[in-house]
Amino acid sequence: MNGVPDPLLRLEGIARAFPGVLANDDISFSVNEGEIHALLGENGAGKSTLIKIIYGVLRPDAGTMTLRGKPFAPHRPSEARAEGIGMIFQHFSLFEALTVAENIALGISPELARGDLRGRIVEVSTRYGLRLDPDRMVGDLSVGQRQRVEIVRCLLQDPRLIIMDEPTSVLTPQEVETLFETLRRLAGEGCSILYISHKLEEIRALCDHATILRGGKVVATCTPSEETARSLAEMMLGETLSPPATDRRTPGDVRLRLNELSVEADSPFGTDLADIALEVRSGEVVGIAGVAGNGQTLLMSALIGETLAGRPDAIQLNGRPIGRMPPHGRRKAGICFVPEERLGHAAVPDMSLTENVILSARVRKGLSRNSFLNLPRAARYAGDVVARFSVKTAGIDHAARSLSGGNLQKFVVGREIMQEPSVLVASQPTWGVDAGAAAFIQEALIQLARDGAAVLVISQDLDELFAISDRIAVIAAGPPGRRPHARADRPADGWTAARPIGLARGGGARPCLGWSRGASPQGRCRC
């Protein structure tokens, strides 16, 4: 850094404690003008605390920050914004029923919102290749387009530093590419970007420097392009990783068959499912890839039985029609589920772990007799799950809410796997989970398949699907009215995480699992 003018932002000795945990411990690093700087770390490494301090949401207990050489201690986000710091959150704060321009006007200061806002939106969005129609309803936009709204809103405030929190977690590979071009152009114009992610390949492709956090401390700084994804992960975790084993048995009988499954969404904004066809065999892991909003939620709901299929034989379990069975009947027949949302869907936040196993394991584990709960037995089962899946908890009497995301997910996955189902369906099984827990969960899913179960994983994380799946199908929207005509049975072997995107999405292959009606404003599917 010597010989270079003052960095844009410098942190020195930043520390912040919360009751019982030191979230940031003596953190120092700096971000130069025009630099894309990665902040890398597991969940709980202290990334969020740190960016909240920079953005003025939290104040540090110790340490100083300087912005362009001057002391910088924002007390609130508006002060940080006034100094030219912008932030793109992981979860968007947009009103679906308002237009793009209205949403942007609401999110910026009144002075900025005056005058020809529409004109400026168009100008900024074309300049940075973020095509955006100011008059469209946000509710009609894809996730990637919504993110553009957030970015344009941020750019209108002329920022010097943009903080992005996991910006690609919801984007398609093409959208990621567009985003990266925009970010590179911004950096070229001197705007700095603090990029938070745990997607190692992205960081390698995009970032100039990386600061790696673990347990609230800076454990390494590096130039990501000179590292491998593996070495980055090892720095992040502080341990060496072994890749999930890939030797598989040959698939056995068909366990789960989706036979032209069509379901209508029960909400007006939902995506219908049309004629989904898929088979999952004993001993294999089948992945369903696809961008959020293409019917995954409804597919999961139809599989669980929360939404019933039109015909009983649209879903067949070991040859038995279960399409109109309620969830517990399906479980009894041998299929278990891990829904995407841990708190509130897979688990009741304020109930103990013991009570939470009753939720889905009652039928298969005999946790009730004559409709009376067998609490000792439930406690034993909860204890078994905690032990076998190394769930870190103060005890099975504690509320599900008290567990960290990774531990609760291990508990939920364990609760289902230990029922020894013949089919397991998991949606986003490692979403928002730290790398250690994610590896553990993926290993458990593979092991379950190796033991003879059929495993279906719905995920937007392609890296994950390539790591664990034997075959991958894609769920995508098509033009309304068209009939489905394709399914994907492409072996995952030989697909590398770097290459498959073009194959699965752009190429001549026909990877569609089925059309889903209604969504896809751009009709992107290339089946």
Partner 1 sequence: MLRLEPRREPSRAMQVLTPVFAVILTILAGLVLFAILGKDPFRAIWLIFFQPLTQTYALAELTVKGTPLILIGTGLAMGFRAGVWNIGAEGQFVIGALAGGSVALALHETAGLWVMPLMCIAGMLGGMAWAAVPAFLRTRFNANEILTSLMLVYVAILLLSAMVHGPLRDPEGLNFPESRLFSESMTLPILVEGTRAHLGFIIALVAIGIAWLFLQRHLLGFQIKVQGQAPLAARFAGYSEKRIVWLCLLTSGGLAGLAGTFEAAGPVGQLVPALPIGYGFTAIIVAFLGRLHPFGILLGGLLMALTYIGGEAAQIAMSLPSATTRVFQGMLLFFLLAMDVLVGSRIRWIPRQAAG
List the beta bridge partners of residue 9: 31, 67
CB of 239 to partner 1, least distance (A): 29
Task: Specify the residue, 7 or 429, whose C-beta has the smaller distance to partner 1.
Answer: 429
Judged on CB neighbours under 10 Å (0-12, 13-18, 19+), 479 is exposed
CB of 77 to partner 1, least distance (A): 8
Q: What is the spatial distance between Cα 121 and Cα 99, in angstroms, rounded to a whole number? A: 12
Q: Where are the alpha helices (DSSP H) in 213-295?
A: 229-237
Task: Give every CB contact of residue 133 below 8 A, 6+ residues apart in sequence.
Answer: 100
CB of 81 to partner 1, least distance (A): 11
Does residue 324 touch partner 1 according to CB under 8 A? Answer: no
Does residue 17 touch partner 1 according to CB under 8 A? Answer: no
CB of 337 to partner 1, least distance (A): 7
CB of 329 to partner 1, least distance (A): 8
The tokens for 223 are 């130039």
Does residue 267 touch partner 1 according to CB under 8 A? Answer: no
The tokens for 203 are 């960081």
Q: Using CB under 8 A, pick the residue from 137, 143, 375, 497 that binds partner 1.
A: 375
**453 and 445 in contact (C-beta within 8 Å)?**
no
CB of 349 to partner 1, least distance (A): 7
Within 10 angstroms of residue 388's Cβ, the number of other Cβ atoms is 13
Q: Using CB under 8 A, pick the residue from 48, 316, 360, 419 that binds partner 1.
A: 360
Q: What is the spatial distance between Cα 509 and Cα 83, in angstroms, rounded to a whole number? A: 49
Alpha-carbon dihedral angle through residues 322, 327, 329, 335, given to the nearest 10 degrees: 70
Q: Where are the alpha helices (DSSP H) in 114-259?
A: 117-127, 143-155, 173-188, 200-206, 229-237
Q: Using CB under 8 A, pick the residue from 306, 384, 443, 463 that binds partner 1.
A: 306
DSSP 473: E
Q: At what angle do helices 405-417 and 353-365 cross, to 10 degrees?
A: 20
DSSP string, 313-345: GGEEETTEE-TT--HHHHHHHTEEEE-S-TBTT
CB of 369 to partner 1, least distance (A): 10
Q: Using CB under 8 A, pick the residue from 346, 385, 408, 441 that binds partner 1.
A: 346
Region 70-89 residues binding partner 1, contact defined as CB under 8 A: 75-78
CB of 218 to partner 1, least distance (A): 27
Q: Using CB under 8 A, pick the residue from 162, 347, 386, 467 that binds partner 1.
A: 347
What type of residue is 191?
Answer: C
Output Rg (C-alpha) for the chain, integer angstroms: 24
Does residue 292 touch partner 1 according to CB under 8 A? Answer: no
Q: Using CB under 8 A, pick the residue from 337, 411, 440, 515 that binds partner 1.
A: 337
Question: Per CB under 8 A, which region of 62-70, 99-107, 367-375, 384-392 contacts partner 1?
Answer: 367-375
Does residue 458 touch partner 1 according to CB under 8 A? Answer: no
List the beta bridge partners of residue 256: 280, 317
CB of 473 to partner 1, least distance (A): 24
Region 391-450 residues binding partner 1, contact defined as CB under 8 A: 399, 401-402
Q: What is the spatial distance between Cα 365 and Cα 346, in angstroms, rounded to a whole number? A: 17
Task: Specify the residue, 124 or 400, whose C-beta has the smaller distance to partner 1.
Answer: 400
Q: Using CB under 8 A, pick the residue from 143, 220, 229, 359 that binds partner 1.
A: 359
Does residue 285 touch partner 1 according to CB under 8 A? Answer: no
Which residues here bind partner 1, judged by CB under 8 A? 75-78, 304-306, 326-329, 331, 337, 339, 341, 344-351, 355, 358-360, 362, 368, 371-373, 375, 399, 401-402
